[in-house]
């Protein structure tokens, strides 16, 4: 079963991310961001490949300044990997699908 990437807002962040049962990958993006278009396929494939043990959400930065500020998102695309309220990993800028999956494997396989 492939899981879609869920779009969230500041208001949903606590429920969807910090209180989630599974680790959550948060993808910060912007409609005007060219590199974000390049990252989207990698994010979608992570959502389907890890659907059994990872939740993937995306948040547009402009309408959601609270979370962006709280997690010091300075550039997009940016990724934050959470387990409960703990931030496990943080990246800024485009990373390849291979690098993304390797990063996820590091954290998800250690559980």
Catalogue the active-site residues.
Answer: 33, 36
What one-character DSSP code corresponds to residue 93? S
First to last CA, the chain: 22
Residue whose entry in the numeric block shows the structure tokens 């680790």: 23
Instruction: Check whether the bond before 77 is cis (ω within 30° of 0).
Output: yes
Q: Are 106 and 41 in contact (CB under 8 A)?
A: no
Using CB atoms within 10 Å of the CB of residue 34, give its burial: 0 to 12 exposed, 13 to 18 middle, 19+ buried.
exposed
> What is the token pair recorded at 84?
């409960």
């Amino acid at each position: 079963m492939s899981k879609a990437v869920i779009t969230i807002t500041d208001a949903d962040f606590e429920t969807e991310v910090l209180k989630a049962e599974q680790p959550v990958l948060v993808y910060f993006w912007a409609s005007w961001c060219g590199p974000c278009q390049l990252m989207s396929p990698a994010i979608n494939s992570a959502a389907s490949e890890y659907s059994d043990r990872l939740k993937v959400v995306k948040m547009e930065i402009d309408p959601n300044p609270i979370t962006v500020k709280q997690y010091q998102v300075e550039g997009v695309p940016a990724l934050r990997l959470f387990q409960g309220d703990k931030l496990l990993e943080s990246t800024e800028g485009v990373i390849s699908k291979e690098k993304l999956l390797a990063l996820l494997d590091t954290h998800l396989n250690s559980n």
